[in-house]
Structure 1
């Protein structure tokens, strides 16, 4: 039986953590109590702060020797992540706490593979939880009352969370597998025809997982790559880079494509929807963009056409990441347009901006035996482009 790891700061939350542990034991599951106090803690825990801190890359002193609480919390989060990475017996992880606890525990939870049960009982769970959850399957439960002593509310909330964690540990979801390898594809509304056709063409041989390129979508896809759950990527829609570089609301991070670089899996990509930067309602577009070409996608989404200079920067950034890949990599350029809005007659049609993008890619591309830059005389949503992608993807993944 894999135990539930109950994690929190025993110097301030000892009674609550032990109550959770008792509930889990009563439910029939095993428990490992992990104390991540950064102050002085004399609590008896299965795993002490010193034991966790010893997993910090710079040693325990980097965690427990900090006089600044913020630095100590950050260091403990890193140590906890390293500690959990050494454990191969995790049935579930249950965290309890306020802001500091939530930051530490969820940072470590985010490093665990998708599918490992992760439940955080937090005073922060009723607000914006994106910084805590990120691209992972963390469940957040709001405490209602603060975790500052046992009472009718905390007993109910913590008890429910403990029983849920015990249930997940005792009844692990069956690991299903397809006979087909898994491939991740990125899509936006303006590249849907391309991805739909690709799924049709490769779906008999590959299990397709489509990710909406909303910043978090790309991060989720790469989390699955890091977790070993995707065997290849068809990254047609790299629009998150535009938002990342130029202040849009759906950005990737600096680590976009990092999982592919680390894992060396086959990557086939394109420049889908890099002709746009995303904002919210029209009145959310920054004043500095007055006079720019805008398009209302819907009342809550306003798109801004990228300029020649922006496209050049996007192309350079993308190629710099591709050049770091060690595995097979192919980038296909749709010379007649990169999104539904960039086709002739559509509001973002701008051949000069597209050419600036393509020129930056060509000039920065590093030739390698297993890297190919292909230019396709088609629009990204043309069937001929999907066919070219399919042919290249099959060659990359089969060696044909």
Structure 2
């Protein structure tokens, strides 16, 4: 078993060397990857900085001469990602540890994000108390706040580093020895305002022999699902909640990026898609909403989340985008429309109920979807049991045809 430590051995050699000693004292091998560009390492690496720079498409001497910290971090992060990916492929990486401030954290997490979900990844960082999304992305990296800067060894830093080192050893060596039945895996997308539909669908799928993974459609949730589909870990998709595209289009805070809705189609796996929560764009607290939207309709979901109703024009564009994504799919694909409301806030009597805006979305999809994409329309709100059954039965039908349904 081997733990890889990614770090700048020119500036953090003492601290990383201490982490190595803690891990080796547990009978576990350590592979040091040096990503420092300022000078020579103070601890002997297993993979030196020059090799890392070359793996990132750069020359170490040129990086040093340029003196551009940002460019160096980007290059070494890309190189470290290549190195750890190769080590994992060779079977000589069982977990990864990172230590440090913003630079070390940026490089180490760039490497970690290149590894599959499930590979233990732990970072003790000064950046772990704050906005961690740039470091974690859609991966399963564990961050621990270092309390003080990781600069020198003292009674506090030894404790923090020891805990981090032992944590990654425990994550890498722990085998729960639980026998798990292999089942076809279905990915679902959910928001608070689509929860009843997804809950009903999940229960039906599990009752019929599927395993389900529910992704919160918060931007990172959608990206995580797309990544797992690309890795081949998902057999079918019930994409109830496509709301992340509203944020991508309008400028909300929960965008999953322009590649959302592509992975399932690219892999050719069965997918059933709907229009869940396309009635809203997400922002933070009320005071954070951009001034350009001051005349729009809002709903305060909670003190941290403010929702803005999408317009008729925005829904036409959302229909166009989603239709284009689904038209490119290479596997069985259906779009299912909830004609009486696309979220809990869009049902009769609720604050976002705007049938004209919904109809603009539905018409845009009707006009643009190719005949290869099956279009189903249900006279019910999205959170109605009838609608959830229509989704699951269509996906089950596709899974049976593809030979992927439970035996």
So what's the TM-score if we normalise by structure 2?
0.89
Give the deviation of 1:210 after TM superposition.
1.8
Tell me, yes or no, if the aligned pair for 2:13 and 2:41 is still in contact at 8 Å. no
Which residue, out of 137, 148, 152, partners 1:134? 137
CA 392–74 in structure 1, closer or farther in 2 if over 3 Å, else same:
same
Distance 2:24 2:340 in 1: 63
Cα shift readout 1:212-235 (whole Å, capped 9, x = no counterpart): 222222223233323433222111
2:6 is aligned to 7
Distance 1:147 1:6 in 2: 15
Tell me, yes or no, if the aligned pair for 1:29 and 1:169 is still in contact at 8 Å. no
2:276 is aligned to 272
SS in 2 for 1:184: strand
Distance 2:37 2:78 in 1: 13
Give the deviation of 1:95 after TM superposition.
0.7
CA 176–37 in structure 1, closer or farther in 2 if over 3 Å, else same:
farther
1:334 is aligned to 338
Range that drifts further, 126-135 or 224-233: 224-233
1:392 is aligned to 394
CA 303–60 in structure 1, closer or farther in 2 if over 3 Å, else same:
closer
2:149 is aligned to 146
1:160 is aligned to 163
2:377 is aligned to 375
Give the deviation of 1:117 after TM superposition.
0.9
Tell me, yes or no, if the aligned pair for 1:28 and 1:166 is still in contact at 8 Å. no
2:284 matched to 1:285?
no
2:405 is aligned to none
1:41 is aligned to 40
Distance 1:39 1:174 in 2: 45
CA 283–41 in structure 1, closer or farther in 2 if over 3 Å, else same:
same
Range that drifts further, 45-54 or 257-266: 257-266
CA 82–265 in structure 1, closer or farther in 2 if over 3 Å, else same:
farther
Tell me, yes or no, if the aligned pair for 1:114 and 1:227 is still in contact at 8 Å. no
Give the deviation of 1:307 after TM superposition.
0.3
RMSD, aligned α-carbons: 2.2
Which residue, out of 213, 216, 223, partners 2:227? 223
1:28 is aligned to 27
Cα shift readout 1:148-201 (whole Å, capped 9, x = no counterpart): 222222222112211222233333455753332121111122222221221232
1:99 is aligned to 102
Give the deviation of 1:306 after TM superposition.
0.7
Give the deviation of 1:359 after TM superposition.
2.4
CA 176–312 in structure 1, closer or farther in 2 if over 3 Å, else same:
farther
Range that drifts further, 9-18 or 165-174: 165-174
CA 176–258 in structure 1, closer or farther in 2 if over 3 Å, else same:
farther
CA 145–324 in structure 1, closer or farther in 2 if over 3 Å, else same:
same
CA 259–53 in structure 1, closer or farther in 2 if over 3 Å, else same:
farther
Aligned residues: 394
Distance 1:263 1:40 in 2: 45
Distance 2:139 2:179 in 1: 19
Tell me, yes or no, if the aligned pair for 2:34 and 2:41 is still in contact at 8 Å. no
Structure 2, unmatched stretches of 5+, are 403-407
CA 147–236 in structure 1, closer or farther in 2 if over 3 Å, else same:
same
Distance 1:378 1:267 in 2: 21
Structure 1, unmatched stretches of 5+, are none
SS in 1 for 2:31: strand
2:17 matched to 1:18?
yes
Tell me, yes or no, if the aligned pair for 1:53 and 1:64 is still in contact at 8 Å. no
Tell me, yes or no, if the aligned pair for 1:24 and 1:166 is still in contact at 8 Å. yes
Tell me, yes or no, if the aligned pair for 1:64 and 1:72 is still in contact at 8 Å. no
Distance 1:157 1:202 in 2: 44
SS in 1 for 2:10: helix
Distance 2:395 2:228 in 1: 20
CA 108–173 in structure 1, closer or farther in 2 if over 3 Å, else same:
farther
